[in-house]
Structure 1
Amino acid sequence: MKKFEEKTLNTNKIFEGKIINLQVDEVELPDGKIAKREIVKHPGAVAVIALTTENKIVMVEQYRKPLERSLLEIPAGKLEPGEKPELSVVRELEEETGYAAGKLEHLISFYTSPGFADELIHLYIATDLQKVEHPLSGDEDEFVELEEVTLEQAIKYVEEKRIYDAKTVYAVLYLQLKMGMN
């Protein structure tokens, strides 16, 4: 038995969408009481820190409707059904930036919001970038603009809340630690 396990008694599927599904689980708590848990089911995602030969971070700016604003982010995207993260990251990097990686390394995987969602992001770092002559086209409803920034600029953008999402802040902190900056 897992510590503090909540046994699922009933699952009520509320919504099934293109990106997420929503369900409400009735659970038995460790003390025997009954509670409800609202859960977002997500297929998982990949994100990539793409570094140019000049050590600039390739980022995409895009509008995020839930926040009603644009953010500057590292390239990322959801896993397609049955798709392995190492294939998804290659596809997403090319679709969103037009680059292919000469070297690709998995850094870590992490849950984004474990209090209500099961989304797991697999974070990679891509180096030895080459422009793809005829890159894969991105999603038809996705509008992005590329920006290549130095680590110093990225840190400033975090402070200014231009970079404001967890995966990108995590990437900036990772690079800051890796490069020994304060």
Structure 2
Amino acid sequence: MNTGNDDYSHLKEEIISSERVFDGKVIKVDHSTVQLPDGGSASREIVYHRGAVSLVAVAGDEMYFVRQYRVATDDFLLEIPAGKIEVGEAPDETAEKELKEEIGGVAESLRKIHGFYVSPGFSNEYVHLYEADNMTIDKQALDDDEFLDIVKIRLSELPAQLDNGAFQDAKTVIGVQYVIAKYNL
């Protein structure tokens, strides 16, 4: 129902109680009880994450991706360069670092083009999507626990690759759609 204004307080849930059930290196998980707008209550499992960055990296007529194995999906995914934001790090710092680490990219400038929640039904993970402007490629600087291949795809092939299901994670689909629109592909 559209109320005609920006007051959505009638939809807000209030956390009544919360118990930390997992406190890991990347995520924290709380089991919470919330009071619903109608006065009832419900259980919520909430995953807390520091957030991440992802990068649209185009050089010449090619877009850069990485292929890596993801244990959670038990699959080799083709993704745009990305990484989690470390404690004390600003998203633009993470973007610059991840571009260099994953594909050896060095950009004249990085520009934030979007931001989005990955799965807001249970997680607060927010991804900052950047575009690397005037990028050159140098040497990768992977972390010790990172194993990935660099994959370059011609811009003209992106629409067909998207249609064929080559990209299966949200950040990559969003990044590819951005490039398709930007370059009128």
Q: TM-score, normalised by structure 2?
A: 0.91
Tell me the number of residue pairs that the alignment of Structure 1 and Structure 2 aligns: 178
Aligned position for 2:70: 64
Aligned identity (percent) is: 38
SS of equivalent residue, structure 2 residue 11: coil
For residue 9 of structure 1, report the CA deviation from its aligned partner: 0.6
- Structure 1 stretches of 4+ with a deviation exceeding 4 A read none
* 1:5-154 paired onto structure 2 within 5 Å: 5-52=12-59, 54-132=60-138, 137-154=141-158
Say whether the 8 Å CA contact 1:113–1:119 is kept in structure 2: yes
Task: Check if 1:163 corresponds to 2:167.
Answer: yes
- Which residue of 172, 175, 178 corresponds with 2:179? 175
For residue 102 of structure 1, report the CA deviation from its aligned partner: 1.2
SS of equivalent residue, structure 1 residue 164: coil
Q: Distance in 2 between matches of 1:100 and 1:132?
A: 7
Q: Distance in 1 between matches of 2:159 and 2:25?
A: 33
Q: Distance in 1 between matches of 2:30 and 2:91?
A: 25
Q: Which amino acid aligns with 2:153?
A: V
Q: Distance in 2 between matches of 1:75 and 1:33?
A: 43
SS of equivalent residue, structure 2 residue 150: strand
Structure 2: segments with no counterpart, 5+ residues: 1-7
Q: Distance in 2 between matches of 1:82 and 1:110?
A: 21
Structure 1: segments with no counterpart, 5+ residues: none
For residue 165 of structure 1, report the CA deviation from its aligned partner: 0.5
Deviations 1:84-111 (A, max 9, x none): 0011100000000111101211101111
Q: Distance in 2 between matches of 1:118 and 1:87?
A: 20
Q: Which amino acid aligns with 2:179?
A: L
SS of equivalent residue, structure 1 residue 177: helix
Q: Distance in 2 between matches of 1:112 and 1:45?
A: 10
Say whether the 8 Å CA contact 1:27–1:35 is kept in structure 2: yes
- CA root-mean-square deviation: 1.5
